[in-house]
Structure 1
């Protein structure tokens, strides 16, 4: 398998945060807090400018599929997260318990949901619509869901203030990007790697800062290798339940295979690209922030490996049923 440079970068960021936590503090020598805030706003501006409105319009009419995806993301997943949060009291650290609920409350991914759906020869227009809608809903729904089980961060903002901060930092730049799309959309389409590189670079900075804060607080002295294995197993279990649920309901609704593929990949994914920036705002001042984002980091890697294999299976199945033409290039501009 090809070495994943993004995974190596995140692992390196965690190691550096363990060794040199003072560098990643918000008030450290590089002022990482200000740097990541600017980076997050810039990335969401570019995402807005890069998203083709036509791709959203083309996928907007499949209402049963939309209900399935959004219901899985913001009802089914939070129920799993809540069950795990309350059932694990006393045998998982509080930061990890909150981290699993936070994972369940997150929105779906955009880029990888669309890419996996395309790889599976599924309905790309529907994937673009649902993944984008999920990200926008999550800016409000995620903090509200987290508030059900926890105060929003030790020393962090209240839930209403957190939502306003998220909308200001994520939604406003996204909307400005959409407004500027006629001017820079074609340039960004020709240079897709620029957006991808900046996106991943900001995530690495957030991971570094989160783990540096937790290291400086002494949090990781409470964390054993056995706990890490447990977290990995629980994250994989959440993905397995989500895949089983979306596949079962898709077949109960008698969706065709292309629509089923879109439902499976949009409904089972959780967004690290949205999760890391929202966590930085939502859990500001919480010394356990590194532990809170750990389930999201592990789930992200597991979902990529499992869903890539599943996408190839869908592609072979759909090709056997009826060979399809390649998805339109415009659909990938998200």
Structure 2
């Protein structure tokens, strides 16, 4: 398997943040916060331009599959993590637990979900619908999950400012993008690769800035190698637990092979784009933002590796089955 280039870029961003923090430091002459905010708004403006309203309309028919995917993304994932809250409440591990909840509460990815479903020969229209609608639902649901538990920590948050930032930086640009899709949608689709590169550049900038602030405040000084390994284990365990539960639910509901693949692949993915953007609104005023992104970055690398292997294998099996059917 080839190592994903974006994963490598993330690692490089963290290393640069550690050794060259000057550009992202608090006293930096470069207004990275303003640049990142503008970049976030543009990401969601272009997201609105690229959103396929036709796929959303046609996808409404397969409602059972959509309920399973969205329930897995926004209910099953967080509830698994919340179940362990009593074990960490009022302990030194509560912040690490909060970072896992942040991961669990995020929406699904868009492009990679569709690509992987396509590789495995799943239900592509349903994947497009669920991946697209997930990002919109997440704007509301993800902060609700987080604010329920952030209020119980010792960190001071201005929730009115958080929702104002989400509305102005994310929701309004998304609405403008949807309204202008008729005029600029073709342009967005034509330059899709360039826009994806822009998205990733903004994400890398936010990751760099976040880790600079976390290194400044020595947030990771209390994080041992053992803690990191435990987090990696928990992230992998969380992925496989949700993967097998969604597969079991698909069998119980008698999903077709294509729908089962879509349920498992879309219902287990988490969006790094939305994660970095939401972390700016929820944790941007604190030094723990880098720590909040850590499980998400681990999960991002793991989901790409595991799902790509599974998708390729499933696609090969289905191709062989189709060949056998032709020769019968």
Q: Same fold (TM over 0.5)?
A: yes
For the Cα contact (< 8 Å) 1:47–1:195, is it kept in 2? no
Deviation readout 1:154-210 (Å, 9 max, x if unpaired): 34431x442332132112212211222232222232222111101111110111111
1:116 corresponds to which residue? 116
Measured in 1, the distance between the counterparts of 2:182 and 2:7 equals 34
> Does residue 199 in structure 1 map to residue 199 in structure 2?
yes
Normalised TM-score (structure 1): 0.90
Deviation readout 1:5-60 (Å, 9 max, x if unpaired): 21121111111212233421465222111111001111111111122211212211
Q: Where does structure 2 lack aligned partners over 5 or more consecutive residues?
A: 324-328
Secondary structure in 1 matching 2:83: helix
Deviation readout 1:62-121 (Å, 9 max, x if unpaired): 111111111111111111121234334577633311100111111111111111111111
Instruction: Give the deviation of 1:314 after TM superposition.
Output: 2.5
Q: More displaced, 250-259 or 4-13?
A: 4-13
Q: Where does structure 1 lack aligned partners over 5 or more consecutive residues?
A: 324-334
Q: Superposition pairs for residues 265-276 of structure 1, below 5 Å?
A: 265-276=265-276
> Does residue 219 in structure 1 map to residue 219 in structure 2?
yes
Instruction: Give the deviation of 1:2 after TM superposition.
Output: 3.1
Q: Give the 3 Å change call, closer, same or farther, for CA 322–131 of structure 1 in structure 2.
A: same
Measured in 1, the distance between the counterparts of 2:55 and 2:248 equals 27
Instruction: Give the deviation of 1:245 after TM superposition.
Output: 0.8
1:330 corresponds to which residue? none
For the Cα contact (< 8 Å) 1:155–1:285, is it kept in 2? no
Normalised TM-score (structure 2): 0.92
Measured in 2, the distance between the counterparts of 1:75 and 1:52 equals 25
2:301 corresponds to which residue? 301
Measured in 2, the distance between the counterparts of 1:173 and 1:77 equals 28
For the Cα contact (< 8 Å) 1:39–1:202, is it kept in 2? yes
For the Cα contact (< 8 Å) 1:59–1:129, is it kept in 2? yes
2:64 corresponds to which residue? 64
RMSD value, Cα: 2.0
For the Cα contact (< 8 Å) 1:242–1:268, is it kept in 2? yes
Secondary structure in 2 matching 1:237: helix
Secondary structure in 2 matching 1:183: helix
2:158 corresponds to which residue? 157
Instruction: Give the deviation of 1:229 after TM superposition.
Output: 1.2
Measured in 2, the distance between the counterparts of 1:113 and 1:143 equals 23
2:190 corresponds to which residue? 190
2:291 corresponds to which residue? 291
Count of matched residue positions in the alignment of Structure 1 and Structure 2: 322
